[in-house]
Amino acid sequence: MIDTLLRDLRQPEYIHVLINPLPIYGLAMAWVGLIVSLFLGSRRAQIATLAIVLISAASAWPVYELGQQSYDRVLSMADSDGQAWLDEHQDRAEDLIYFFYALALLSAVAIVAPMKWPKSSMPLTLGVTLLGAIVIGIGAYIAQAGGKIRHREFRNEAPPKRSAEKQPR
């Protein structure tokens, strides 16, 4: 059993599937925490939840990198519709990953900047809250295509058209 687990942990596609909920679920929980901290007016609660936002948004980077490393192997396992969804998933991730990075950066600024400029706390926290809601939606959009790669039961619509450069030869 341990040998199987260790073998699985060496496969980027396994780790990608294992950690891909972190950016979305972590952000969703932190977003709720930010709303609560804003109502409580507690800077300590804001810092704690901003740290969770930072960690969750930054966790998109290893998820993205492991997904890139997994592309060829997952492509070979998927049927033609799944391959089209894989390409769509990859395209969405490549186009939108920068929003996660921006959120991580903004949350870091929202933690540090009020130490020097205390009046910046509320606007920065509100900015993180707004961008966080957008990024949660972006994460769901990326994941929606990813879930259809190997799960036929989630395919409620026709697969996207594959570009000519990604067509099998």
Assign 149 a pLDDT band (cuts: 50, 70, 90).
Answer: confident
Instruction: Please give the angle made by the CA atoms of 78, 62 and 74, to the nearest 5 degrees.
Output: 10
pLDDT given for residue 169 in this prediction = 47
Residue 38, judged by CB atoms within 10 A of its CB (0-12, 13-18, 19+), counts as middle
Statement: residue 151 has pLDDT above 90: no
Statement: residue 157 has pLDDT above 90: no
Backbone angles phi, psi at 159, to 5 degrees: -70, 155
What's the pLDDT tens digit per position in 25-67? 999 999 999 999 999 999 999 999 999 999 999 999 999 999 9
Assign 142 a pLDDT band (cuts: 50, 70, 90).
Answer: very high
The answer to whether position 142 is within a domain reads yes
Give the single-character DSSP code of 120: G
What's the pLDDT tens digit per position in 4-14? 767 767 788 88
The answer to whether position 169 is within a domain reads no
pLDDT given for residue 143 in this prediction = 93
Statement: residue 2 has pLDDT above 60: yes
- Mean pLDDT for the stretch of residues 121-130: 96
Range of the domain at 148: 2-163
Nearest to 89 by CA among 166, 8, 12: 166
Number of domains into which the chain is organized: 1
What's the pLDDT tens digit per position in 76-123? 888 888 899 999 999 999 999 999 999 999 999 999 999 999 999 999
**Euclidean distance between CA atoms 136 and 162, whole angstroms:** 26
The answer to whether position 168 is within a domain reads no
The answer to whether position 117 is within a domain reads yes
The answer to whether position 127 is within a domain reads yes
Nearest to 122 by CA among 53, 37, 48: 37
Nearest to 56 by CA among 20, 31, 27: 27
